[in-house]
């Protein structure tokens, strides 16, 4: 007789904190993890938007709450991590997703613009990890998933030298973090989205959007859920032997060798 297997949702009962979750990719990650059975704490600054996003997830049958927090402030992120534990009893998964991508040509780029992008994207990742660590160490399957980008680690794009550098910095960070965190059984990996249909991307305008669709072999932009599915794999117990790695989610955008190949 065929042995019976147990039907299970692998994230059932896990607790996840997702930064930048009020909208866009973060909201997609929160939705995907909630659908896999996780309790999710959405963290970003705008309270009204965050509470609305959490309410939508609860209405759809998920277990979700919002906490207002700023990734550039370590104390604020510590409070956010404590809130997750206070509300749901543990913290097993951190999704360090919050990020900004203002555009500026290299010639016009100021030191302040450079610092601002690094403060949110790179230092924000560090603070989110540091704040969550004491609790992730207590989990028997601590998981960190960072949202990086194809821009920087793989590709270049005029206007985003500072952004690309900050996204590449995240990859450098996870490689050493993976080694340091291995003693606690915590894994850290990164997803590298291509162009994903989010509010942030819409702000770049219709021209950018059209140009991007044309350069993607699958001929569509990604959805926040596309990224969420990749994150849910890294966050799962099944991915426990994978750390310090990256997964590109871009519809094949980085593949073409010439402009006509896409």
Residues within the interface to ligand NAP (CB under 6 A): 19-20, 22-26, 44-46, 49, 70-72, 97-101, 120, 124, 147, 149, 193, 195-196, 198-201
For 27, residues 6+ apart whose C-beta sits below 8 A from its C-beta are 21, 42, 53, 224
Smaller CB separation from ligand NAP, 71 or 129: 71
Q: Find residue 222's DSSP bridge partners.
A: 196
Burial class (CB in 10 A: 0-12, 13-18, 19+), 105: exposed
* Residue closer to ligand NAP (CB basis): 76 or 90: 76
Q: How far is the CB of 121 from ligand NAP (least distance, A)?
A: 6
58 and 41 in contact (C-beta within 8 Å)? no
**SS3 letters across 92-151:** CEEEECCCCCCCCCCCCCCHHHHHHHHHHHHHHHHHHHHHHHHHHCCCCCCEEEEECCCE
What minimum distance in Å lies between the beta carbon of 68 and ligand NAP? Answer: 8
| Six token digits for residue 201 | 């991307």
- Nearest approach, Cβ of residue 100 and ligand NAP (Å): 6
Name which of 93 and 201 has its Cβ closer to ligand NAP.
Answer: 201
β-pair type (187-193, 143-147): parallel
d(CA 113, CA 19): 21
* Matching residue, tokens 């100021």: 110
Whether 208 is catalytic is no
Q: Between helices 224-235 and 24-35, what is the axis angle to 10°?
A: 50
The residues with which 87 forms a beta bridge, in sequence order, are none
Considering the complex, what minimum distance in angstroms separates the CB of residue 177 from ligand NAP?
17
Please say which residue, 19 or 141, places its beta carbon nearer to ligand NAP: 19
Name the residue nearer to ligand NAP (CB basis): 71 or 174.
71
Residue 127 or 141 with smaller CB distance to ligand NAP: 127
**What is the smallest separation between the CB atom of 147 and ligand NAP, expressed in angstroms?**
4
At a CB cut-off of 8 Å and minimum separation 6, what does 202 contact?
209
**Residues acting as catalytic residues:** 163
């Amino acid at each position: 007789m065929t042995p019976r297997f147990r039907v299970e949702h692998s994230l059932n009962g896990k607790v996840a904190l997702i930064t930048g979750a009020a909208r866009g990719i973060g909201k997609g990650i929160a939705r995907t993890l909630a659908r896999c059975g996780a309790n999710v704490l959405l963290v970003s600054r705008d309270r009204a938007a965050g509470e609305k996003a959490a309410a939508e997830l609860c209405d759809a049958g998920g277990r979700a709450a919002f906490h207002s927090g700023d990734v550039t402030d370590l104390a604020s992120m510590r409070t956010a991590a404590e809130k997750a534990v206070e509300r749901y009893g543990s913290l097993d998964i951190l999704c360090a997703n919050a990020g900004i991508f203002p555009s500026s040509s290299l010639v016009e780029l100021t030191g302040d613009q450079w610092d601002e992008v690094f403060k949110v994207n790179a230092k924000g990742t560090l603070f989110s990890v540091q704040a969550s660590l004491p609790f992730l160490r207590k989990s028997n399957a601590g998981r960190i998933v960072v949202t990086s980008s194809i821009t920087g680690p793989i590709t270049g794009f005029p206007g985003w030298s500072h952004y690309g550098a900050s996204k590449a910095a995240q990859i450098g960070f996870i490689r050493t973090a993976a080694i340091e965190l291995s003693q606690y059984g915590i894994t850290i990996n990164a997803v590298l989205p291509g162009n994903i249909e989010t509010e942030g991307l819409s702000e770049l305008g219709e021209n950018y959007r059209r140009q991007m669709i044309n350069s993607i072999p699958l001929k569509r932009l990604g959805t926040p859920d596309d990224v969420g599915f990749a994150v849910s794999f890294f966050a799962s117990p099944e991915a426990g032997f994978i750390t310090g790695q990256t997964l590109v989610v871009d519809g094949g955008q980085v593949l073409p060798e010439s402009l006509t190949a896409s």
